[in-house]
Structure 1
Amino acid sequence: MFSFIWSLVPTSYILPGWLILDTNPLNCFLQGLVGACGINVLCSLMRVHLFLEEQSCKDKNENESSSKRKPRQQQHNKTGLSGTVHFFIVTGLLAVVGSRVAALVVLEFCLRAVSGWLSARQESKIFIQQLLVQSQFSLGCALTCSLHFLHEAASQRWLSLLLAAALSWFLSKQATRLKHHVMALYKLHSSQRYCGVCISLLTSGSDVLPALCRTMIITFGVAVVAAVSIINQHFLSATDALKFWTPLTICYTLLVVYMQEEQHRLPSSQVVLNSVVVRLGGLMVLMLTVGRWADVIHILICFLGEAICLIPTMDLLDAAS
């Protein structure tokens, strides 16, 4: 029904091509909503993990450094109206970004994650924590890209996306509730053995990060398959595909090497901001040569999305370091 109504809207000559969404607005909004919920779950669980790690350090009489991190972790903790506005801004940005650019963002992140993990060696835990914080907008793109691929031929696509959005919203609310509960009451409940949730986190809180890593691996594994399929749909022959994939692979391999060298001589926060500019800037140059103008506009939207996700969570990045 929604597809029929949207087909009657004369967008082809009213709106420019880069403003026309991949599917009807309802489907795009629901996909963006799922992506924003995934980002919120990731941030909430990362705050819980870092808070538990901080409390563990305090229990070992190493509270001098951890006590300096606690105010910074809670400083940018979005609540109330600001958190709602931030959530729906991210939803809107993920809804507008095209599936083609979202697929490229996913592939770039996976290449960077694998290369960084192989070179991290002894600092693997710190690298994983930093990578999870940096993956926020890429995670949103991975979820929207996967949903676009999995529901592409569905007859009642909006119903499936509505169910996915409802489940994502529920998980997001539960993760937010867990974060607030742990921040406010974990120290009291864990010491008095009063709350079942806090006691579970006290005994198995070290499993939060591995579980989060396994979930991210599965999510991005599905997204990589979806991304390759989505990108290959835009090529009519293997020659055209080769002309696209060859410069893309070379460009991002060089960028990954460059960013790893920068990471060893600059502060973590500055490295993150520099890497966003370098990654998306390189992708924009590539799209100017082998892409479309719609892709360039969507990459500019990705710049804004990365900034909106990373700037409010710089305290998480510093704590992960």
Structure 2
Amino acid sequence: MFLPISWILGTSEWTPFDANLTDCFLRGLVGACGISVLCNLMRVYHFIQTCSDSETESKQRSPSPVSPPRLNWRAALQFWYLTFVLSLVGSRVASLLVLEFSLRAVSSWVSAGLDANGRGPTLLLIQCQFSLGCCFTCTLVFLHQGAPHSSLNLFLDAALSWALASVSCSLLSHAARLYPLHSTERYCGKCITLLTSGHTILASLQRAVILVFALATVASFATVYEHFLSQKDALKFWTPLTLCYTMLVVYIQEDQNRQIGAEGLFHTAVLRQGALLVLMLTVGDWSDVLQVLITFLGEAACLLPSQDLLQDMLKEEDDTSLSEQTSSHKTKKLTKEIVR
């Protein structure tokens, strides 16, 4: 079926269908479930923070992170669309995306250590959605390579991922409908747990994402070495490309720190994917180039529905800076009174 396409493109394989359609679909399903769990738990965290702020300030505020339409057909459409897109992205391109985002995360961590602004980890969680899905797909390819029952293993992985995604979606729906009431009445086990330990959700997500990227980085290095660096004199060609790409990632990170809002996110995504496209035009084949173009659609499908998370992050940052300014003003005023 894909032989004419491979012949036209001049490639021996039409990756990602290097195994079979079922395996590709199951890997894409696992990746989409991982993205769904991340987004749902982040929305639960921001919803809890919004309710906590409204109780502190003693006034009503509409919780933007959760709304019934977002929990129904829009979320389902995004989920199956990401499953389809991740099924089309092969392990070669997915591995490069993982390594690129890992490099950018390290650059962000270094820049945050030099000039901490408090929004780096949360912003990376919003940006890493599609790369997180690629982490699962390339890791599954690496782990199941040569396995005698890889399809059965992938089916079990997909079933477990589906169960976790269903639990996170149910938790988000429950919190959106009943948390404001149950957190005050205190007779619901889920809401009491969210009330007591919900503030740790973001930190737990950060640790889990770091672990996933660490495992995926190992698998990505093995995949990149097998497909790109195992040839003779490949290191002589890849070394200057890697240095140039690293400098570009650092520039993108510095440029992103100067930009705030959705435009900065999309600008960064376009620069990242454009640089990867140029790299694939240099060292890849036509299937790699097409898959990089497909990743543009995946990044857009993750970033466009995440505007509520970005707005909440910016709002929390503004509230924090405002409280710090107020506290500093009170401290200065108190110091003047003591001096007098």
**Same fold per superposition (TM over 0.5):** yes
Change (3 A) 1:183 1:91: same
| Aligned counterpart in structure 2 of residue 280 of structure 1, from 269, 273, 278 | 273
- Deviation per CA, 1:16-70: give whole Å up to 9, x if none: 5474412211000000000000000000000011111222222332869xx37x3
Q: Which residue of 1 aligns with 2:75?
A: 83
Q: Distance in 2 between matches of 1:151 and 1:124?
A: 41
Q: Which residue of 2 aligns with 1:134?
A: 127
Q: Distance in 2 between matches of 1:63 and 1:155?
A: 60
| Aligned counterpart in structure 2 of residue 95 of structure 1, from 87, 95, 98 | 87
Q: Distance in 2 between matches of 1:279 and 1:14?
A: 27
Q: CA deviation at 1:257?
A: 2.3
Q: Which residue of 2 aligns with 1:239?
A: 233
2:188 is the counterpart of 1:192:
no
Partner of 1:267, secondary structure, is coil
Aligned length: 307
Asked if structure 1 preserves the Cα contact closer than 8 Å seen for 2:99 and 2:220, the reply is: yes
Q: Which residue of 2 aligns with 1:44?
A: 40
Q: Which residue of 2 aligns with 1:180?
A: 173
TM-score if structure 2 supplies the norm length? 0.84
**Bigger Cα Rg:** 2
Q: Distance in 1 between matches of 2:253 and 2:59?
A: 31
Q: Which residue of 1 aligns with 2:57?
A: 61
Q: Percent identity?
A: 45
2:119 is the counterpart of 1:108:
no
Change (3 A) 1:186 1:142: same
Q: Distance in 1 between matches of 2:58 and 2:104?
A: 33
Asked if structure 2 preserves the Cα contact closer than 8 Å seen for 1:76 and 1:312, the reply is: no
In structure 2, stretches of 5+ residues that fail to align are 315-340
Partner of 1:60, secondary structure, is helix
Q: CA deviation at 1:212?
A: 0.7
Q: CA deviation at 1:258?
A: 1.9
Q: CA deviation at 1:262?
A: 2.0
Q: Distance in 1 between matches of 2:255 and 2:305?
A: 23
Q: Distance in 2 between matches of 1:137 and 1:255?
A: 20
| Aligned counterpart in structure 1 of residue 297 of structure 2, from 301, 304, 316 | 304
Which one is further off, 218-227 or 199-208? Answer: 199-208
Which one is further off, 157-166 or 189-198? Answer: 189-198
CA RMSD across the alignment: 2.1
